[in-house]
Chains A and B, each alone.
Chain A
Amino acid sequence: MSSLLPLPVLLPMLGAALSIVASRWATLQRVVGIVVLTAVAVTAAVLLVAADGQGPIVAELGGWPAPVGIALVADRLSALLLLVSTLVTLAVLGYAIDQRIVDYGRATASTTFHPMYLMLCAGVSLAYLTADLFTLFVAFELMLTASYVLITRRTGADRIRAGMTYVTVSLLSSLLFLTAVAMVYAATGTVNLADLAGRVGQLPAGLQTVLALMLLVVFGIKAAIVPLHFWLPDSYPNAPGPVAALFAGLLTKVSFYALLRTQTLVFPREEPWTLVLVLSAATMLVGVLGALAQNDLNRLLSFLLVSHIGFLLYGLAVFDAAGVSGATLYAAHHITVLATLFLVSGLITRRTGTVALDRMGGLLRTSPGLAILFAIPALTLAGVPPTAGFVAKLALLQAGAASGPAEQAVAGVVVVASLLTLYALVRVWVRVFWGEPVPPEPDTDPDDEVLVGTARTSVPMYAATAGLITVSLAIAVFAGPLAGMTERAGVDLLDRGPYRVAVLGEGR
Chain B
Amino acid sequence: MTTVNLVMAATVGVLYGTGFTLLLSRSLMRVLIGVVVLGHGTNLLLQLAGGPPGRPPILGVVPPEEFTDPLPQALALTAIVITFALTTFLLALGYRSYVLVGHDEVQDDVEDRRIARQKAPSAPLEDGNGEEPS
Q: A164-B106, A175-B35, A234-B109 are in contact. Are A452 and B49 (CB under 8 A)?
A: no
Instruction: Output the nearest chain A residue to B110 by Cβ-Cβ distance.
Output: A234
Complex: A385 Cα to B122 Cα, angstroms: 47
A residues near B43, Cβ cutoff 8 Å:
178
* CB <8 Å contact, B85 and A167: no
A residues near B101, Cβ cutoff 8 Å:
157, 160
Q: A157-B100, A175-B38, A182-B49 are in contact. Are A356 and B89 (CB under 8 A)?
A: no
Q: Smallest Cβ distance from B47 to chain A, in angstroms?
A: 9
Could you tell me which residues of chain A, from 432 to 489, have a CB within 8 Å of some CB in chain B?
441, 444-445, 450, 452-453
B residues near A141, Cβ cutoff 8 Å:
82, 86
Q: A178-B42, A179-B42, A299-B110 are in contact. Are A356 and B71 (CB under 8 A)?
A: no
* CB <8 Å contact, B100 and A160: yes
User: Which of B51, B100, B128 sits near A444, CB closer than 8 Å?
Assistant: B128
* CB <8 Å contact, B130 and A296: yes
Most interface-central of A159, A186, A441 (chain B CB within 10 A):
A186
Q: How big is the B interface, by class?
A: 35 or more
Q: A167-B89, A171-B86, A182-B48 are in contact. Are A158 and B128 (CB under 8 A)?
A: yes
Report the count of interface residues on A (CB-CB < 8 A): 50
* CB <8 Å contact, A168 and B134: no
* CB <8 Å contact, B75 and A134: yes
Cβ proximity bits A390-424 to B, threshold 8 Å, 1 near / 0 not: 00000000000000000000000000000000000
Complex: A182 Cα to B46 Cα, angstroms: 5
B residues near A238, Cβ cutoff 8 Å:
134
Report if B21 contacts A (CB, 8 A). Answer: no
* CB <8 Å contact, B131 and A295: yes
User: Which of B38, B90, B100, B134 sits near A167, CB closer than 8 Å?
Assistant: B90
Q: Smallest Cβ distance from A495 to chain B, in angstroms?
A: 29
Report if B45 contacts A (CB, 8 A). Answer: yes
B residues near A134, Cβ cutoff 8 Å:
75, 78
Instruction: Output the nearest chain B residue to A230 by Cβ-Cβ distance.
Output: B109
Number of A-B residue pairs at CB separation under 8 A:
121
Report if A94 contacts B (CB, 8 A). Answer: no
Q: A178-B42, A181-B75 are in contact. Are A299 and B48 (CB under 8 A)?
A: no
Cβ proximity bits B37-71 to A, threshold 8 Å, 1 near / 0 not: 01100110110111100000000000000000001
Report if A361 contacts B (CB, 8 A). Answer: no
Q: Smallest Cβ distance from B13 to chain A, in angstroms?
A: 12
Cβ proximity bits B111-134 to A, threshold 8 Å, 1 near / 0 not: 000000000000000011011111
Report if A267 contacts B (CB, 8 A). Answer: no
Cβ proximity bits A169-191 to B, threshold 8 Å, 1 near / 0 not: 00110110011011101100001
B residues near A280, Cβ cutoff 8 Å:
none
B residues near A295, Cβ cutoff 8 Å:
130-131
Most interface-central of A134, A141, A171, A234 (chain B CB within 10 A):
A171
Report if B33 contacts A (CB, 8 A). Answer: no
Q: A141-B82, A164-B97 are in contact. Are A175 and B134 (CB under 8 A)?
A: no
Q: A158-B127, A160-B101 are in contact. Are A165 and B46 (CB under 8 A)?
A: no
User: Which of B23, B50, B107 sits near A161, CB closer than 8 Å?
Assistant: B107
Report if B17 contacts A (CB, 8 A). Answer: no
Complex: A295 Cα to B129 Cα, angstroms: 11
Q: Which residues of B are interface residues toward A (Cβ below 8 A)? A: 23, 28, 31, 35, 38-39, 42-43, 45-46, 48-51, 71-72, 75, 78-79, 82-83, 85-86, 89-90, 93, 96-97, 100-101, 106-107, 109-110, 127-128, 130-134
Q: A161-B109, A165-B109, A168-B31 are in contact. List 17 more A-B contacts (CB 8 A).
A: A148-B89, A149-B89, A160-B96, A179-B45, A182-B45, A182-B48, A182-B72, A183-B49, A185-B46, A185-B49, A185-B71, A186-B49, A186-B51, A234-B109, A353-B133, A354-B133, A356-B133
